[in-house]
Amino acid sequence: MTPVRISIAAAVGSVILILIVLELIRGRRLKERYALLWLVTGLVLLVLSAWRGGLNTIAGWLGVSGYPPAILFAAAIMFVIAVLLHYSTVLSKLTDDNVLLAQEVALLRTRLDALEGAATPEVSPTPVERRAG
């Protein structure tokens, strides 16, 4: 059986995690989209740490006989991996969007330069003569 103190500590930790996430959402420092996985993580950990019988049963299923709190670690790690994976997808999307934006800006700037022609002096780090019209 899980020592009571571990259960209490884990439950408190989970509650703190949930509160921090909620506070970040409230202060608009975290978008709900990205907070969802964190909230689920906090809730699952809270349930696992408070529901001591359940933790034991799950440990039994998985063949963890000596130390049921190992399931807590396993669950926590699993969710952290899920969050990281989610971030990788978000990062990939951002990278793609960023490339698209940079291309768009460069193309627009070229057209703008052509429109303005040689009339306006170019603000360029190297003020050598630039394409005229």
Question: Which CB, 40 or 112, lies closer to another protein?
Answer: 112
Question: Which CB, 20 or 106, lies closer to another protein?
Answer: 106
Question: Which CB, 6 or 113, lies closer to another protein?
Answer: 113
Q: Which residue has the tokens 């420092």?
A: 29
d(CA 37, CA 97) in angstroms, rounded, equals 23
Residues 6+ apart with CB under 8 A from 15: 42, 46
Question: Which CB, 77 or 106, lies closer to another protein?
Answer: 106
The residue ranges that bind another protein (CB under 8 A) are 99, 102-103, 105-107, 109-110, 114, 126, 128-131
Q: How far is the CB of 120 from another protein (least distance, A)?
A: 15
Q: How far is the CB of 107 from another protein (least distance, A)?
A: 6
Is the CB of residue 22 less than 8 Å from the CB of residue 89? Answer: no
Q: How far is the CB of 95 from another protein (least distance, A)?
A: 9
Task: List the one residue out of 46, 40, 58, 60 whose CA is nearest residue 9.
Answer: 46
End-to-end CA distance of the chain: 80
Q: How far is the CB of 104 from another protein (least distance, A)?
A: 8
